[in-house]
Amino acid sequence: MRLLCRYTNLFRLMYDVLLIPVLEAPMPALLPVFSCRVPAGFPSPATDELEGLFDLNRLLFRHPDATYLVRVSGESMSGAEIHAGDLLAVDKHLEADHGHIVVTVVDGDCTVKRLERRGETWWLVPANPAFEPYQIRTGEELHIWGVVTHVVHELLPGRLTALLHSRD
């Protein structure tokens, strides 16, 4: 079974999932990158060594013409640090494979899950023990809209929602 779909209508609203197209950025989003690492444990003196500038678009959107953004609802992927309200960068150019987190439609229902191969069968596996894995059966209608490459998780609540609503 080939688990790949080239979804072309990026403006479709389906099952409360808004697909947001990513267009070629007119200018790079150059941000400073510092050579020092920020410890997540005990504080240490900071250094001001600028390593260079980094284009965030090159990281998030390797294939801009085949990438879209989608908002998450629900908590079935919380163990993978994907939470309700997060924004996912999804690349349609990549072929889905074992271990990838994918956005998929199964029998008309849209979901984000980890794709796993167990022996000869494929599964859509949540990252939350409160949800059951879903076995993909032969002959079942399955469309993979793309592979999730990045998660934007908001730490200042409301800003991402306000930004997305300002596009309307």
Q: In what order do the strands lie in the sheet with 67-71?
A: 13-14, 17-21, 67-71, 87-91, 142-152, 101-106, 109-118, 121-125, 134-136
Active-site residue flag, 92: no
- Given the residues 44, 92, 113, 166, the one annotated as active site: 113
CA–CA gap between residue 70 and residue 86 (Å, rounded): 8
113 is catalytic: yes
Q: What's the N-to-C CA distance of the chain in angstroms?
A: 39
- Determine phi and psi for 80, rounding to 5 degrees: -100, 15
* Active-site position among 35, 44, 73, 76: 76
Active site residues: 76, 113
